[in-house]
Structure 1
Amino acid sequence: MGCISSKKRRIRSMSTFVLSRIDELRILPSTFVKINNQAFSNVYQSGRTLGKGAFGEVRFCTHKKTSARRAVKIFKKSDFFEENYMQRLLGEIEILKFLDHPNIIRAYEFFEDSEEFYIVMEHCRGGELFEALVKWKRFKESDAAMIMKQLFSCLSYMHSKNIAHRDLKLENILFDEKSEGLGIKLIDFGAAGYFSKNQELTGSFGTPYYIAPEVLVGGYTEKCDLWSAGVIMYILLTGKPPFDGTTEEEILNSIKQMKYNSNSTEAFQKLSEEAKDLINRLLTPEKDRINARDALEHDWIKNNFSEPPTADDIMRTSWGNLSGFKTGNKIKEAIITFIITQLASSQDIKSARETFKKLDENGDGKLSRGELEKGFKMLNGYTPELLDRIMKEVNTDKNGCIGYTDFLKAATDMKKLATATNLQNTFDAFDKDGSGKISADELKWALQGENIEDLDIWNELIYQVDQNGDGEIDLKEFCDIVSRHF
């Protein structure tokens, strides 16, 4: 780590306008999810094929510099015969950048060359939910409830952001790890779209067996996702689809009639009354269909779902990290965000992730002050005043709740993650031209992309940490930003 230079710092005053603009600067999970202008093969070593679809394939890949294990979704441009396919791809990229939830796949970066597009994402080692169902035939209600609560949480979070998935199916749900509970990740946002309360969604998206009846006939709302969730729940519990047919046309006609197999399936008859009731509330006309938030509150979820116990020492550790967290300056905040979102492994954030899920009692993918208080108020050192400070320090969006990545940044032990290697890799990502120093232009590029902003803002940020007065940040100064604030 660097140390503060003994060289006398110059004294200057900065306008209130610039200082207020710095205060308004938001370092978000999406800040570092960008198009990488290098060739994909220069950055990643491509590995085995994990899956194939109509417009590309998913392969395992390894980041050459950091050895991070990831997955890459590859699209061949030659397969885009219609313009709307390109629009869907660009839409998927924008939506993936925007989403921040423990059960939604995280995107890292994107590449493009003359022949292909690449979306680099988390690698989920547990395989598809579909594969697990083939192996186990069907799930017991407690296991199905654990999966469905996570799926409803994804939908509650997405719908609160005015995003509908529109292609929920077993194949688009992965298990995070091979043998670590039933943690899921929702993937494939190629059909996802934004909606508004005043305008219905349009377009025929989805997969036979899962598609909602209203999608087949015209305009629809985000509740199409709840229908698909109902189909998934039915299949998990019975091992069979709810709508019969020997051809796709027969299946779709059965869906339009909204009469699922409730009597002819023995497995369905053996289900609890609560499970049957929730399925009824999902596989019903759109106007009567339950929403995701209410599904999370349904008796079947509450009575069958049991959050895996989070060890007391994990809760205490997370509370201790939260209690000691201080935002500091914007560059320090950016460094921490980069390490958490781009370099940290699943194991690195495991304790904080488990704590977040434990605290998120209503499953909406964010933490309210009440949820934090309920989870931490019995721990040593808790005071309402300290909790107020944590809410102020950690809540990047200033929306009254703490998001997933913001919580990880504050609840993870960054002293362990701010290694020399991670700091060097973060510095290199900011140092766009590889000169060994970060200029105001490079800082603007790293934190704001190509947007034009008054360079006074970025010069002031550099001035706050520039120890030798050369107007740039070298590696020692960069490392010292972190060491001085822990």
Structure 2
Amino acid sequence: MGCTITTKYRKKSEEIFISNINEIKIDPGLFVNENKKKFQDVYRAAQSLSTGIYGEVKTCFHRETGQKRAVKILKKDLMRSELEKTFLLKEISILKSLDHPNIIRTYEFFEDLKHMYLIMEYCSGGELFTEILKRQNFCEGDAAKIFFQILSAVSYLHSNGVIHGDLSPKNILLEEKKGSLSIKVIDFGSAMLSSEKNKKLPKNGKAYYLAPEVYDGIYNDKSDMWSCGIILYILLCGHPPFDGENDEQIISLVKRSRVQMEGRIWEKISSSAKDFIEKLICGPSSRLTAQNALKHMWFDTKIKSAIEKYHIIEAMQNLREFHAPNILKDAIITFVTSQYASLKETKELREVFLSLDKDGDGKISKEELLEAFKNTIGEIEEIEIERIMGEIDSDNNGFIDYTEFLKANIDTKKLLSDQNLKLAFSIFDTDGSGKISAEEIKKVFLCDQSSDENIWKEIIKSLDVNGDGEIDLEEFKALVKLNYNSM
């Protein structure tokens, strides 16, 4: 294949030095990697969902599991400049790092001579934009439910140093055709890191979604919040706040930042909703941050939790009883949970997770966990909260992230089927030999060559039943299926 785009992606700087097994961090991003097989051998592409500048998005089916996913197929010959290739690499890197119930999950990617293939979860509800056209506008209750999820995703991104750069109803998907109004933020092709010094303007999107300061070359997290304000305005009335015959006229109106909320439809909309819009579609110094926007009074009256208390109590008991497995078993369960848990298996748990995440930042803090226990099971000592966090927080970031919450609550026995374990085994068996070596485990955990070799040898030794210095498929299955309840 020669030098490929993703050759640059596999950088030495990603590798981590490990001197102690407790330093290993387990998160879903470890398993979002380039699959060396041909895309066509692993997936069957099907219906086209959308087209873009560099290619199209299609539905696809995993040949081994039958799981329906989406694939973003990018034509490499259309990415002529180094900058365009850099943005693709950055998109992959950002997608790997994200773990939030309202952000699209990415599974793996492929590359051949002509194309890049990004495999993502499939959302049957289609674009929020299409739903707006169909409904014309949302009632405040439905708009609030959708908008809170958008803000939660944006707050999570900003807290992790990521600016989306292209928020619009076209880049928000409804998870299902009917029912829940659960959404997923997609398309990180214009995303950037807040630490970047030279931020380029997004290439995509309508002029009114871009904040006035963007046209002066300033782009930061407040610019995303302007886009959020435009989305809320459209959700409530069905059309954008600025209208012009061309982008030049729209940009002129955007720079004035004056929003009209008049007419029959706005007479029915609450004063708190209008106040919210005015605090988002305004100058950057007055504009709300995502975290502050989640606390706006409009949500207090418009969002009511539909989660039954017994579901929350059950989840809290599962968290309390969870015991961290050994490092390899934890990695396997993380892989299977993040890659193969179905919507049916996670839907209810996601709603519980979001109800526990009181500040809406996409993760559960010690304080939120403590409050949840007090409100459901009863008083609990802080030292017990510390113990629970220590068992569940496998990436050691001080929070319970979404996948970590799922691992502690999902029906593990059902999820860890022979088929899923075979797929997990292939992730660790990087050379396809049918056995996992210490070197292969080290590669999966992105640890550099100078890391202590004894760590990996000890992992192998503790699981190597036949004493050949490697782990075969049967030993691998035995490891995971031993003592389900010990997790």
Same fold at TM > 0.5: yes
Cα distance, 1:397–1:427 mapped onto 2, change above 3 Å: closer
Alignment of 1:82-481 (within 5 A): 82-196=81-195, 201-207=199-205, 208-263=207-262, 265-307=263-305, 309-377=306-374, 379=376, 383-384=380-381, 385-448=383-446, 453-481=451-479
Residues 452 and 250 (structure 1 numbering): CA distance in 2 closer, same or farther, change over 3 Å? farther
Q: Report how far residue 381 of structure 1 moved.
A: 8.6
SS at 2:445's partner residue? helix
- Counterpart Cα distance in 1 of 2:326 and 2:353: 25
Q: Tell me if the contact between 1:230 and 1:282 (Cα under 8 Å) persists in the aligned partners.
A: yes
What secondary structure is seen at the aligned counterpart in 1 of 2:184? strand
Q: 1:20: how far off? A: 5.2
Aligned-partner Cα distance in 2 for 1:328–1:370: 25
Q: Tell me: CA distance 1:76–1:478, structure 2 relative to 1, closer, same or farther (3 Å).
A: same
> CA 1:67–1:204 in 2, change beyond 3 Å: closer, same or farther?
closer
The alpha carbon displacement at 1:200 in A equals: 7.4
State the match for 2:11 in structure 1: none
Shift in alpha-carbon separation, 1:252–1:312, aligned structure 2, 3 A: same
Tell me how far apart the structure 2 counterparts of residues 43 and 240 of structure 1 sit (CA, whole Å). 42
Letter matched to residue 174 of structure 2: F
TM-superposition CA deviations, 1:450-478 (whole Å, max 9, x none): 86644332112111211222111122221
Distance 2:348 2:201 in 1: 41
User: Which has the larger displacement, 158-167 or 316-325?
Assistant: 316-325
Q: Structure 2: how far apart are the matches of 1:481 and 1:368?
A: 31
Post-superposition shift, 1:372? Answer: 1.9
Q: Distance in 1 between matches of 2:397 and 2:385?
A: 16
SS in 2 for 1:157: helix
SS at match of 2:228: helix
Give the match's secondary structure for 1:400.
coil
Deviates more, 1:32-41 or 1:254-263: 254-263
- 1:343 CA displacement: 1.6
Q: Is residue 463–residue 471 contact of structure 1 (8 Å, CA) maintained in 2? A: yes
Could you give the per-residue CA deviations for residues 110-147 of structure 1, whole angstroms, max 9, x where no partner exists? 11111011110010111110110111010011111111
Give the whole-Å Cα distance in 2 for the aligned partners of 1:388 and 1:294. Answer: 27
Separation of aligned partners in 1, 2:197 and 2:229: 24
Deviation at 1:38, TM superposition (A): 1.1
Matched residue pairs, number?
466
Query: Does the 8 Å CA contact 1:367/1:402 hold for their aligned counterparts?
Result: yes
Structure 1 residue 205 displacement after superposition: 4.5
Mapped to 1, the partners of 2:186 and 2:72 lie a distance apart of 11
**The 10-residue stretch of structure 1 (418-427 or 199-208) with the greater mean CA deviation from structure 2:** 199-208
The 5-angstrom pairing of residues 13-28 of structure 1 reads 21-28=20-27
Cα offset for 1:420?
Answer: 2.1
Flag the 1:429–1:251 CA change in 2: closer, same or farther, 3 A. same
Gapped regions of structure 1 (runs ≥ 5):
1-17
Deviation, structure 1 residue 379: 4.6
> Which residue in the other structure is 1:6 paired with?
none
- Displacement of 1:201 in angstroms is 3.9
Cα distance in 2 for residues equivalent to 1:212 and 1:379: 43
Change over 3 Å in CA distance of 1:146–1:46 after alignment to 2: same
Q: Structure 2 vs 1, CA of residues 451 and 215 (structure 1 numbering), >3 Å: closer, same or farther? A: farther
CA 1:235 to 1:379, structure 2 compared with 1: closer, same or farther past 3 Å? closer
Maintained 8 Å contact 2:19/2:451: no
* Mapped contact 2:373–2:380 kept (Cα < 8 A): no
When residues 20 and 382 of structure 1 are mapped into structure 2, their CA distance, relative to the original with a 3 A threshold, is: farther
- Structure 1 pair 67/449, CA: closer, same or farther in 2 (3 Å)? farther
SS at match of 2:129: helix
CA distance in structure 1 between the partners assigned to 2:448 and 2:231 by the alignment: 42
Q: 2:58 is paired with a residue of what secondary structure?
A: strand
Indicate how the Cα distance of structure 1 residues 231 and 378 shifts in structure 2: closer, same or farther if over 3 A, else same.
closer
Cα shift at 1:483: 2.7
Letter in 1 for 2:403: T
Q: Which moved more, 1:422-431 or 1:309-318?
A: 309-318
Distance 1:115 1:155, change over 3 A: same
Change (3 A) 1:317 1:143: same
Residue deviations 1:44-82 (CA, integer Å, cap 9, x gap): 000100111122110000111121110000110121133
Kept in 1: contact 2:259–2:278 (CA 8 A): no
Identify unmatched segments of 5+ residues in structure 2.
1-16
Q: Return closer, same or farther for 1:155/1:22 CA change in 2, 3 Å cut-off.
A: same
CA distance in 2, matches of 1:41, 1:450: 32
What letter matches 1:389 in structure 2?
A: R
Residues 250-282 of structure 1: per-residue CA shift (max 9 Å, x gap): 11211122222333x432343211011111000
**1:99 Cα deviation after fit:** 0.9
- Report what 2:51 is aligned to: 52
> Secondary structure at the residue paired with 1:117?
strand
